[in-house]
Chains A and B, each alone.
Chain A
Amino acid sequence: MPEEVNGKTPRRKENSITAQLRGIWRRISLEAVGAVVYGGVDRRLELSDAIEHALKHKVPRHVNWTYCFGGITFFLFLVLAATGILLTLYYRPSSSDAYESVKYIMNDVRFGWLIRSIHHWAANLMAFTVLAHMVRVYFHGAYKHPRELNWIAGVFLLALTLAFGFTGYLLPWDQKAYWGTTVGTRMPAAMPFIGDFMKLFLRGGDEVTGRTLSRFYSLHVVILPMVTTFFLAAHFAMIRRQGISKPM
């Protein structure tokens, strides 16, 4: 603590509340986190080597801002998870309630408009950053040997991101959502042999109904997040293992 370093300043007498506030103020810092992690926690779990290895990992010199899109995508994923969890507190996934509950979030819940708008815009932005990340990797040839598996994991993550977008689009249950999903689920029907089955399977019936809404809600908040988390973990483990690719 800087005040105590040179020892010249004698401790002023303070009343207890001020002293407590100063104590809290002093604890709001990375130093304080470090004191806990390197102190009591490390004495028990011996984590400091691993933490240092992770935090002091050197980024290669050639890395520039175009390498940030993957990280931005992950950040947006976390933002979407946080705001999405908050939205589930008020959203009701049924054909009679969905639209009303979204209107309620936008008009009545305090800062509901903010949470939903952040979710909306982060989702749009994420589709863009995913593509930007992919373009960067493609034109740097970073997908080549030995990083083919990571490219494949990335392609799955792209598909998952788009699936998030497609399922989330239905949830407001307004005209745009309904017709968007009607058209979107009709497209796979053009596939030979399995087309009709795919349409039926996606819609949970012959038409887009409340059953489609339940299905998409389950995909959007349970199934896709689980699968995506798995692929993200694989994606990150591989990049740490193999390192960032050298420029061509």
Chain B
Amino acid sequence: MEQDTRKSTGVRRRTFLDTLLRGWVLAGVAGMAYPVAKYLTPPHAPEAAEKEVEAAAADQVKPGEAVKFEFHGTPALLMNVKTGFVAVSAVCTHLGCIVDWDAGKSQVVCPCHNAIFDYNGNIVSGPAPLPLERFEVDVRDNKVMVRRKG
């Protein structure tokens, strides 16, 4: 027969030790599961996406011309038009092809399905459902700096 070790507290030794052991195991498992769960969830990187990018040297892009550059991992287009430097995302909003600069018409053209945008990224014609994302542009010390609007 098991001895009743409750005494004054009303808790038996076995129950106490059982609870202690289970709590210890649970704490151990949780202590491993928590960092792993956090690790598996990838972090957002808003700071990185806010950072300015140097698109090109200002004298490298002559009036009426355009260059492509990389904006946080995606292609983008920097144009020198009559209003100055304009930068837009070069990923077509239709099916994600990379758009080209048509210097003759001062338009942005997608080679895949002929979606056409003006140099501000607004839709002119074709299948694109949305305008191209337009970035903010600053010229400092002959460097064209581009950042996301916000």
Contact = CB atoms under 8 A, between A and B. Distances in A.
Contacts of A112: 39
A152 interface: no
A42 B40 CA distance: 36
Interface residues of A, number: 17
Interface string B67-88: 0000000000000000000000
B97 to A, nearest CB: 24
B15 A2 contact: yes
B150 interface: no
Contacts of B40: 86, 89
A108 to B, nearest CB: 5
Contacts of B45: 108
B7 interface: no
Interface in A16-72: 25, 28-29
Contacts of A29: 18, 21-22
B43 A109 contact: yes
Contacts of B149: none
B39 A3 contact: no
Given A2-B15, A28-B25, A108 B43 contact: yes
A25 B26 CA distance: 9
Contacts, number: 41
Q: Which of B4, B40, B45 has the most CB of A within 10 A?
A: B40
Interface string B15-48: 1001001100110000000011011111101000
Chain B's interface: helix, strand, loop or mixed, by majority? helix
Contact of B4 (A6, A86, A89): A6
A118 to B, nearest CB: 10
Contacts of B42: 90, 109
Nearest to B4: A6
Interface footprint category on B:
10 to 19
Contacts of B26: 28
A108 B43 CA distance: 7
B143 to A, nearest CB: 23
Contact of B35 (A28, A108, A111): A111
A5 B2 contact: yes
Contacts of B43: 108-110
Nearest to B26: A28
A86 B63 CA distance: 50
B113 interface: no
A109 B45 CA distance: 10
Nearest to B2: A5
B62 interface: no
Interface in A125-181: none
B14 interface: yes
A191 interface: no
A80 interface: no
Interface of A: 2-3, 5-6, 25, 28-29, 86, 89-90, 108-112, 114-115
16 contacts: A2-B18, A3-B15, A28-B22, A28-B25, A28-B26, A29-B22, A86-B36, A86-B39, A89-B39, A109-B39, A109-B42, A110-B35, A111-B35, A111-B36, A111-B38, A112-B39
Given A28-B25, A109-B39, A115-B39, 7 more contacts: A6-B4, A86-B36, A89-B40, A109-B43, A110-B35, A111-B35, A111-B39
